[in-house]
Amino acid sequence: MTILIDQPHFGVEVQEKKVPIDEKELSLDGGFLVPQTNSFGHTFRDYDAEGERQEGVENFYRINHINQTYDFVKKMREEYGKLNRVEMSIWECCELLNDVVDESDPDLDEPQIEHLLQTAEAIRKDYPDEDWLHLTGLIHDLGKVLNLPSFGGLPQWAVVGDTFPVGCAFDESIVHHKYFKENPDYSNPAFNTEYGVYSEGCGLDNVMMSWGHDDYMYLVAKENKTTLPSAALFIIRYHSFYGK
Ligand SMILES: [Fe+2]
Ligand SMILES: [Fe+2]
């Protein structure tokens, strides 16, 4: 998959018209080889593999799929968009994240802070000159603090896991799709058609995604007027979205 996004803006006016079109694209899969195992020797996100965590992961998605409704997401976005919880530095937040366990990830037994640093360093290796991308990797999961009491102590199903659009039919490619049958939106004619409350070509910006750490960190960055480029906000907002 190649994602087309705005070119990061570095505060210097370049001669826009002379930039060849392909330099305006950030090809996120350009030459990147997907490794079979992580640095701890474990395989990645195999939701069907037999394993100690598999049952817990499936149960996590059952509760997640039942509860992530259009109205719930709307309420959460309004509430957390106020940013009236806690003020802290990025590094303080990284350390705080170590108190959070991600029950949705079949692989991740390592502390969260390891994951943040590994992500940032791996990106630095592949894209040494894109410092904004290193920082984006470092902060991409900070929204998981939603799970902690000072941020409202949201349950795991409202913090982690793959994300998907709400307000339209749940796509069959979403992991453990069968559990959506118990979601009230599944049988609501306003929400259960291909486009639901949206119109064709309305743009991803106008689509509400299931609520969790991605959307929360996006709101935090945006409302605090981050100087990160729009590509960084895109990555933060959709990094758990595995759409087809
Ligand atoms: Fe994440
Ligand atoms: Fe992550």
The mean per-residue pLDDT over the stretch 40-69 comes to 77
Instruction: Enumerate residues with CB within 5 Å of ligand 1 (an ion).
Output: 141
Ligand in closest contact with the CA of 104:
1
Q: What tokens appear for 49 in the block?
A: 């593999």
For the chain, the straight-line distance linking the first and the last C-alpha, in angstroms and rounded, comes to 9
**pLDDT at position 120:** 97
* Three-state DSSP class for residue 209: strand
Residues in Cβ contact with 120 at an 8 Å cutoff, skipping those fewer than 6 apart: 134, 135, 137, 138
Ligand whose nearest atom lies closest to the CA of 143: 1
Q: Is 134 annotated to bind ligand?
A: no
CA triple 53-147-137, angle to 5 deg? 80
Residue 244 to residue 236: CA distance in whole angstroms: 18
Distance 37 CA to ligand 2 centre (A): 15
For the stretch 5-19, pLDDT in tens is 554 444 333 333 333
Query: 3-class SS at 38?
Result: coil
pLDDT in tens, 193-221: 999 999 999 999 999 999 999 999 999 99
- Mean pLDDT for all residues in the chain: 84
pLDDT tens-digit readout, 128-171: 999 999 999 999 999 999 999 999 999 999 999 999 999 999 99
User: How far, in Å, from the CA of 210 to the mean position of ligand 1?
Assistant: 13
For residues 221 and 208, what is the distance between their CA atoms, to the nearest angstrom? 17
For the chain, which residues make up each domain, given as ranges? 54-238
Which amino acid does the sequence have at 61?
A: Y
Helix ranges (H only) for the chain are 54-67, 70-80, 90-96, 112-126, 131-139, 213-223, 230-238
Ligand nearest to the CA of 117: 2
Residue 203 is classified by DSSP as -
Contact partners, residue 159, CB within 8 Å, separation at least 6 = 100, 143, 144, 146, 147, 212, 213
231 CA to middle of ligand 2, Å? 17
Residue 243: helix, strand or coil by DSSP? coil
